Structure 1
Amino acid sequence: MARIICIGEAMKRYMSKTGKQSIGGAELNVAVALSSLGWKTTWLSVLPENDEGMIAAISRTGVESVIIRNDGEVGKYTVIEDEQRVQYQREGSAFALMDPDDINIRTFMQGHEWVHLTGITPFLGQGPRALWNRVMIFSELDDIKLSLDINHRPALCSRDELWDVIEPHLRKVHLLSMSEQDLHWIASKEGMSGSEEEICKQIARKWLINRVGCTFKETQTGRLQGWQKRWSIVATPSEVESSRENKILHRPIEHLGSGDAWVAGVIQNEKNADVIAVIQQSTFGDFFLSNNVDCQSAEFETISGIVNAGIIPIIRSSSREIAEKEARRVLDNGAQCIEISLDTPDCIRLLGSIREKEILKGVGTVQIPTEVVLKSYRRGARFFLSPNNPKGFIEECKMFNSLAIPGVSSIEEAEAAVSQGAVCLKLFHSKNDWRIVEMVKIRELMPEVVLIPVGGVMAEDVEKMFGIGMDAVGIGGALGSMDDIEQQALFSE
Structure 2
Amino acid sequence: MRVISYGEAMLRFAPVGDSLAWRGRPSAASPFTRSVGGDELNVCVALARLGVDAAWASVLPAGPLGDVVRGCAADAGVRLDHLRTLAGQSGEVGTYHLLPEEGRVHYQRRHSAFGTQPPGLFQWASILAEEGKGGTPLWVHMTGITPMLGKQAAACWTAALHAADSAAVPVSVDLNYRPQLGSFADLWRVVEHEISRIHLLILSTHSSHTLADHLGVCGQQGEGDVRAPPAKRVRAQAGAQAGAVSSAADGTTEQLVPILHAIHERLGGPAIACCLKERDGQNKQKRWSILIDGDGFHSTESMPTIHMPKDECGGGSAWAAGLIDALGQDLKACAKRQPGRNGSSVTWGKDAVAKALRNGDILAALAQESAGDHSTATRDDLEIVKAQFHDVAAVIDGLPALRNHSTAACRAIPDEDAASARIEAALQRLEDAKVIAILRAKNETRAVERAIELADLGYRAIEVTADSAGFAAGRLLPAVATAVGDRCLVGIGTVMNLDQLEKATADGAHFALSPVRPTAGWGAAGFVRECHKRGVLAMPAAFTPQEIYECVEEHGALTVKIFPAQLWSPSALQDLRRIGDFGRYRLCPSGGITCSTAEAWLAAGAAAVGMGSCLVGKDIAAAPEDMASLSAAEQEWCSKAKLDAAALARRLLLTPV
| TM-score > 0.5 by shorter chain | yes
* Residue range with higher mean Cα deviation, 247-256 or 4-13: 247-256
User: What is aligned with 1:56?
Assistant: 71
In the alignment, is the contact (CA less than 8 A) between 2:365 and 2:396 conserved in 1? no
- Within 1, Cα distance between the matches of 2:291 and 2:387? 21
- Within 2, Cα distance between the matches of 1:214 and 1:206? 17
Report the secondary structure of 2:115's partner residue.
coil
User: What is aligned with 1:115?
Assistant: 140
User: What is aligned with 1:29?
Assistant: 42
- Within 2, Cα distance between the matches of 1:158 and 1:138? 27
* Residue range with higher mean Cα deviation, 277-286 or 137-146: 137-146
- Within 2, Cα distance between the matches of 1:301 and 1:19? 40
Instruction: State the AA in 1 paired with 2:9.
Output: A
Larger radius of gyration: 2
User: What is aligned with 1:272?
Assistant: 359
- Within 2, Cα distance between the matches of 1:251 and 1:303? 18
- Within 2, Cα distance between the matches of 1:394 and 1:94? 39
- Within 2, Cα distance between the matches of 1:303 and 1:93? 46
Alignment of 1:68-147 (within 5 A): 68-70=84-86, 71-110=90-129, 111-112=131-132, 113-147=138-172
User: What is aligned with 1:229?
Assistant: 286
* In the alignment, structure 1 residue 294 sits paired with structure 2 residue 354: no
In the alignment, is the contact (CA less than 8 A) between 2:304 and 2:394 conserved in 1? no
- What CA deviation, in whole Å up to 9, does each residue of 1:318-356 have, x standing for no partner? xxxxxxxxxxxxxxxxxxxxxxxxxxxxxxxxxxxxxxx
- What CA deviation, in whole Å up to 9, does each residue of 1:391-448 have, x standing for no partner? x9984545457xxxxxxxxxxxxxx9998869xxxxxxxxxxxxxxxxxxxxxxxxxx
Instruction: State the AA in 1 paired with 2:69.
Output: M
Report the secondary structure of 1:92's partner residue.
coil
In the alignment, is the contact (CA less than 8 A) between 2:384 and 2:402 conserved in 1? no
Alignment of 1:69-468 (within 5 A): 69-70=85-86, 71-110=90-129, 111-112=131-132, 113-190=138-215, 191=217, 192=232, 193=235, 194=238, 195=254, 196-221=256-281, 224=282, 226-269=283-326, 270=356, 271-291=358-378, 292=380, 293-297=382-386, 395=404, 397-399=406-408
- What CA deviation, in whole Å up to 9, does each residue of 1:3-54 have, x standing for no partner? 1110000111111334211111100111111222332111010011111322
- Within 1, Cα distance between the matches of 2:74 and 2:395? 38
User: What is aligned with 1:481?
Assistant: none
- Within 2, Cα distance between the matches of 1:303 and 1:131? 43
- Within 2, Cα distance between the matches of 1:103 and 1:306? 43
Q: Which consecutive unaligned segments of at least 5 residues does structure 1 have?
A: 309-391, 402-415, 423-493
* In the alignment, structure 1 residue 14 sits paired with structure 2 residue 13: yes
In the alignment, is the contact (CA less than 8 A) between 2:383 and 2:409 conserved in 1? no
Instruction: Tell me the CA shift for residue 136 of structure 1.
Output: 1.9
User: Cα distance 1:169–1:146, how it changes in 2: closer, same or farther (>3 A)?
Assistant: same
Report the secondary structure of 1:289's partner residue.
coil
Instruction: Tell me the CA shift for residue 280 of structure 1.
Output: 0.8
Instruction: Tell me the CA shift for residue 159 of structure 1.
Output: 2.1
User: Cα distance 1:275–1:166, how it changes in 2: closer, same or farther (>3 A)?
Assistant: same
TM-score (norm 1): 0.60
User: What is aligned with 2:83?
Assistant: 67
Instruction: State the AA in 2 paired with 1:220.
Output: D
User: What is aligned with 1:47?
Assistant: 60
* Residue range with higher mean Cα deviation, 115-124 or 231-240: 231-240
In the alignment, is the contact (CA less than 8 A) between 2:315 and 2:368 conserved in 1? yes
In the alignment, is the contact (CA less than 8 A) between 1:201 and 1:237 conserved in 2? no
Q: Which consecutive unaligned segments of at least 5 residues does structure 2 have?
A: 17-30, 133-137, 218-231, 239-253, 327-355, 411-469, 480-657
- What CA deviation, in whole Å up to 9, does each residue of 1:231-286 have, x standing for no partner? 11011123221122333222111111211111111112233311111111111011
Instruction: Tell me the CA shift for residue 206 of structure 1.
Output: 3.3
Higher strand share: 1
Instruction: State the AA in 2 paired with 1:79.
Output: L
Report the secondary structure of 1:132's partner residue.
helix
User: What is aligned with 1:435?
Assistant: none
Instruction: State the AA in 1 paired with 2:375.
Output: F
- Within 2, Cα distance between the matches of 1:305 and 1:124? 38
- Within 1, Cα distance between the matches of 2:103 and 2:387? 29
Instruction: Tell me the CA shift for residue 204 of structure 1.
Output: 3.3
Instruction: Tell me the CA shift for residue 117 of structure 1.
Output: 0.9
- Within 2, Cα distance between the matches of 1:396 and 1:265? 21
Instruction: State the AA in 2 paired with 1:289.
Output: T
Instruction: State the AA in 2 paired with 1:36.
Output: R
Query: What RMSD in Å do the two structures reach over aligned CA positions?
Result: 3.2
Give % identity: 31
Instruction: Tell me the CA shift for residue 304 of structure 1.
Output: 6.8
- Within 2, Cα distance between the matches of 1:35 and 1:214? 23
- What CA deviation, in whole Å up to 9, does each residue of 1:351-393 have, x standing for no partner? xxxxxxxxxxxxxxxxxxxxxxxxxxxxxxxxxxxxxxxxx99
- Within 1, Cα distance between the matches of 2:275 and 2:144? 16
Instruction: Tell me the CA shift for residue 161 of structure 1.
Output: 2.2
* Residue range with higher mean Cα deviation, 23-32 or 246-255: 246-255
Instruction: Tell me the CA shift for residue 303 of structure 1.
Output: 12
- Within 2, Cα distance between the matches of 1:209 and 1:35? 29
User: Cα distance 1:229–1:301, how it changes in 2: closer, same or farther (>3 A)?
Assistant: farther
In the alignment, is the contact (CA less than 8 A) between 2:13 and 2:33 conserved in 1? yes
User: Cα distance 1:36–1:205, how it changes in 2: closer, same or farther (>3 A)?
Assistant: farther
- Within 1, Cα distance between the matches of 2:402 and 2:174? 41
- Within 1, Cα distance between the matches of 2:371 and 2:389? 16
Report the secondary structure of 2:11's partner residue.
strand
- Within 1, Cα distance between the matches of 2:402 and 2:125? 52
Instruction: State the AA in 2 paired with 1:29.
Output: N
Instruction: Tell me the CA shift for residue 185 of structure 1.
Output: 2.1
- Within 2, Cα distance between the matches of 1:143 and 1:233? 26
Instruction: Tell me the CA shift for residue 164 of structure 1.
Output: 2.0
- Within 1, Cα distance between the matches of 2:402 and 2:56? 39
- Within 2, Cα distance between the matches of 1:137 and 1:3? 18
User: Cα distance 1:266–1:306, how it changes in 2: closer, same or farther (>3 A)?
Assistant: closer
Instruction: State the AA in 1 paired with 2:115.
Output: A
- Within 1, Cα distance between the matches of 2:198 and 2:321? 15
Report the secondary structure of 1:272's partner residue.
helix
Instruction: State the AA in 1 paired with 2:359.
Output: N
- Within 2, Cα distance between the matches of 1:242 and 1:279? 20
* Residue range with higher mean Cα deviation, 277-286 or 160-169: 160-169
